[in-house]
Amino acid sequence: MELRQLRYFVTVVEEGGFTRAAQRLHLTQPGLSAQIRQLERELGQPLLERGTRGVTPTEVGAAVLADARAALAAAERIAHTVDEFTGLLRGQVRIGLISGAATEEFDVPAALAAFHDDHPQVGIVLTEATSEHMLAAVGRGELDIAVVGLTGAPLDPGIAVDVILDTAVVAAVAANEATAGETMPLRALRERPLICLPPGTGIHGVLQHACAAAGFTPNIAFEAAAPPLLLRLAAHGLGVAVVPELTDAEAAAFGVRTLPIVEPELRGQLAIAWRTDRPGTPAAKVLLGQLRVALGRPSDKAR
């Protein structure tokens, strides 16, 4: 019996099937199935069974599952202990990043490059997805660190966040549109076609939660992952774009005018997220510390 076979068994149970487990483990499905059969032969009992709800553990498999997880956790702790004793960082760090988060102000690539220069033996696995997807992946232990937009939904109790950007959420309208004032009350958006980032993103979540609290469902006419596209749609009069705060020069360049959303004020927050209820690898801990310093809010860096 080998540790990797136990890892394969646990992954199949967690994913509920061989196909998704093979993708997660970067194996072929036949190869994964062969390893599970070999483990079952060594133990003399079937561990998994296929049913209408996917692959589930047998009675014996369910009994083995806890010990298999404990064995994997023990092996990981041993490796961490040796790494900390020798000062060696190795393995890989899995980091998630929302689209558009890598800017001049938040230069994630530069931070990753600095970490790689210091620890070339550590692999960096980068994933780009929505905030909602990556927070769930951090919660499941599939990502070590994620840079996400907070949606306003409650976080998993085991997830900690460090807010690196807190900005107003504004309504962007065509530059030539007449408005009643210099702000946009949330209730004024009730009947307007809105232009927003897709579901699962921070701004979309903030908007949905605020509208729900105000007693209405927003009329989202257009969704796009690229903020410049949202602004161009608004500039052509196709709706009100709900976006993070822009400078006057940025708004003018896109042909829009921005009004702070008020009553209530909406805020967009960019944050670094990680788990606190399970030990991270030494490499993940080091990268997390470097990211919190490199991407910290300007006011924090000045202190």
Element (H, E) at 180: none
The pair of structure tokens assigned to 215 is 């007693």
Is the pLDDT reported for residue 302 higher than 50? no
The pLDDT, as a whole number, for residue 207 is 96
Q: What are the structural domains, with CATH classification, of the chain? A: 3-86 (1.10.10.10), 92-161+270-302 (3.40.190.10), 165-268 (3.40.190.290)
DSSP 96-121: EE-TT---SSS-HHHHHHHHHHH-TT
The pLDDT, as a whole number, for residue 215 is 96
* d(C-alpha 18, C-alpha 50), whole Å: 10
Which phi and psi (to 5°) does residue 146 adopt?
-145, 140
The pLDDT, as a whole number, for residue 301 is 39
User: Do the beta carbons of residue 217 and residue 277 sit within 8 Å?
Assistant: no
**Quick check: bond before 264 cis, omega within 30?**
yes
* HSE toward the beta carbon, residue 229, CA cutoff 13 A: 9
CA 151 to chain centre: 11
* In the block, residue with structure tokens 């994913």: 15
* d(C-alpha 175, C-alpha 271), whole Å: 31
DSSP 139-157: HHTS-SEEEEE--SSPPPT
* In the block, residue with structure tokens 């809105």: 194
Q: Give me the numbers of helices (H) and strands (E) for the chain, helices first please.
A: 11, 12
Is the pLDDT reported for residue 102 higher than 60? no
- In tens, the pLDDT along 30-82 reads 999 999 999 999 999 899 988 877 888 999 989 999 999 989 888 877 876 77
User: Do the beta carbons of residue 55 and residue 17 sit within 8 Å?
Assistant: yes
The pLDDT, as a whole number, for residue 257 is 94
Tell me the helix, strand and coil percentages in the chain, rounded to 5.
45, 25, 30
User: Do the beta carbons of residue 272 and residue 284 sit within 8 Å?
Assistant: no
- In tens, the pLDDT along 107-161 reads 888 889 999 998 888 899 999 999 999 999 999 888 999 999 998 888 988 999 9
* d(C-alpha 15, C-alpha 56), whole Å: 10
User: Do the beta carbons of residue 248 and residue 232 sit within 8 Å?
Assistant: no
* In the block, residue with structure tokens 């530069």: 110
- In tens, the pLDDT along 170-219 reads 999 999 988 878 999 999 999 899 999 999 999 999 999 999 999 999 99
Is the pLDDT reported for residue 166 higher than 60? yes
Q: Is 27 helix (H, G, I), strand (E, B) or coil?
A: coil
* d(C-alpha 293, C-alpha 289), whole Å: 6
The pLDDT, as a whole number, for residue 296 is 76
Could you list the beta-strand ranges (E) of the chain.
48-51, 54-57, 92-97, 123-128, 145-149, 159-174, 184-185, 194-196, 220-223, 240-244, 256-262, 267-275
Is the pLDDT reported for residue 221 higher than 80? yes
Q: Using 50, 70 and 90 to split pLDDT, how confident is the model at 105?
A: low
Closest of 258, 292, 299 to residue 166, by C-alpha: 299
Is the pLDDT reported for residue 300 higher than 50? no
Query: What's the rounded mean pLDDT across residues 277-287?
Result: 82
* In the block, residue with structure tokens 């807010």: 163
